[in-house]
Structure 1
Amino acid sequence: MTGGLQGSLFGASTELGVGSLQGIRRTPLSRGAWIDVLPDWLLGADALFEKLVREVPWHAERRRMYDRVVDVPRLLCFYGEGDELPDPVLDEARSALSRHYAAELGEEFRTAGLCFYRDGRDSVAWHGDTIGRGSTEDTMVAIVSLGAPRSLLLRPRGGGERGATVRQLLGPGDLIVMGGSCQRTWEHAIPKTGRPVGPRISIQFRPRGVR
């Protein structure tokens, strides 16, 4: 499996690491939801992208959609509590996020879900991470983006707020954290695009019992 990624200026270093979280910027949404965004947080993003493409045991899934079973339009891999992550920098990132958000979150980030978007045809539909505690409790989902830039869209669940859709372009090494009531009162998506785009990997850190 090849990535076909064109290197970025900030992600081109082969030295992996994470930066400070002190410059992260918070945007309040509605209904008690918010997002934090920090560009270029993960250093060496291109090198990590190439390693994950090669070494992660990616798999395809099929899911029931109404009256038929369809292919999930991306490849997946999930690392549960206690699973060894595919690179030590992901442990470093998860620990740094757990420390930074300890007072607000009240617990640690425990799991890592990886998605591989091979091109513009791969996507994720509108949803919230509401399998488990996210359906009834405030929580956080932290996402690190690698590879080609793609837009993450957010909108209030159920509509009713004119012009409220938020578009956040995520490039290599960028961090976005969705917090407060975001998973149950808002939805997010990575839409398909007809423009030529390269592959992208999304790494989602979540607390225990949130999917």
Structure 2
Amino acid sequence: MKAAFQASLLDLDAELGVEPLGGAVRRTHLGRGAWIDLCPGWLSGADTLFERLAEGVPWRAERRRMYDQVVDVPRLLKFYDEGEPLPDPVLDDVRGMLNAYYEQELGEPFRTAGLCFYRDGRDSVAWHGDTIGRGGTEDTMVAIVSVGSPRPLLLRPRGGGPSIRRDLGHGDLIVMGGSCQRTWEHAIPKTARPAGPRISIQFRPRGVR
């Protein structure tokens, strides 16, 4: 079900940008070597960025084989490889701040950016880990900045177990680190409730998809 985008009252007239990460970051250890960091509302002026990206990114609708048929991917996509200009200058600032805070712990910088456009509650991503490439065998980090209307991100231990939920939108940051991509899975579920559009921007190091 489609719902119109509603801007955050806290984001009205806010200047688009990010501040250095610091004491606002809260880490939760999930077990099995996995953790997540959260920084709600880190990107100020996030609604402005949502509108720029929604209109300016050359979004692609993709189809993928699933079992014995080819189906539509239930979201729009755009991937920016390392060295490829990002679609808005503020994303360079975002990546720079993430690298300033995490590069020593990660051991390398974030280099690529993948964008997903969830247009309404029918768009989703199934349970998965970012295990293509080095994420399947090594500890790594995936940093996600969400703009637009909040949608729930669910995480659960790989192999089954209780899930945890974080509602992300309007400039929230989540970083999944340690063994999270190998030992946990995450998903954005479909919903029959009215859901406004959301864009997630995922920053990854080289060789992690």
Q: TM-score range by the shorter chain?
A: over 0.9
| 1:94 is aligned to 2:123 | no
Equivalent position SS for 2:166: strand
Task: Name the residue aligned to 2:207.
Answer: 209
**How far 1:15 sits from its partner (Å)?**
2.1
Tell me how far 1:6 sits from its aligned partner. 1.2
Q: Which amino acid aligns with 2:88?
A: D
C-alpha separation in 2, matches of 1:181 and 1:113: 20
1:181 aligns with 2:179: yes
2:19·2:97 contact (CA, 8 Å) conserved in 1?
Answer: no
Calculate the aligned-residue CA RMSD, in Å: 1.1
Measured in 2, the distance between the counterparts of 1:115 and 1:53 equals 10
CA displacement, residues 63-93 of structure 1 (integer Å, 9 cap, x when unaligned): 0111111000000000000111111110000
Question: Which residue identity is paired with 1:74?
Answer: R
Q: 4+ residue stretches of structure 1 with deviation over 6 A?
A: none
> What secondary structure does 1:94 align onto?
helix
TM-score by length of 1: 0.95
Q: Which amino acid is the alignment partner of residue 127 of structure 1?
A: H
| Structure 1, unpaired ranges of 5+ | none
Instruction: Using structure 2 for the length normalisation, give the TM-score.
Output: 0.96
Q: Distance between the aligned counterparts of 1:133 and 1:190, measured in 2?
A: 23
The match for 2:26 is: 25
**Equivalent of residue 191 in structure 2, options 190, 193, 196:** 193
What is the distance in 2 between the residues matched to 1:7 and 1:101?
A: 30
Question: CA offset at residue 5 of structure 1?
Answer: 1.6
Aligned to 1:124: 125
Q: How many residues align?
A: 206
Inter-partner Cα distance in structure 1 for 2:46 and 2:151: 15
Unaligned runs of 5+ in 2: none
| Aligned sequence identity (%) | 74
Deviation at 1:56, TM superposition (A): 0.1
Q: How does 1:72-91 map to 2 (within 5 A)?
A: 72-91=73-92
Give the alignment of 1:45-194 within 5 angstroms.
Answer: 45-159=46-160, 161=161, 163=162, 165-194=163-192
Partner of 1:35: 36
Matches within 5 A, 1:4-23: 4-13=4-13, 15-22=15-22, 23=24
Q: Aligned to 2:21, what secondary structure does the other structure show? A: coil
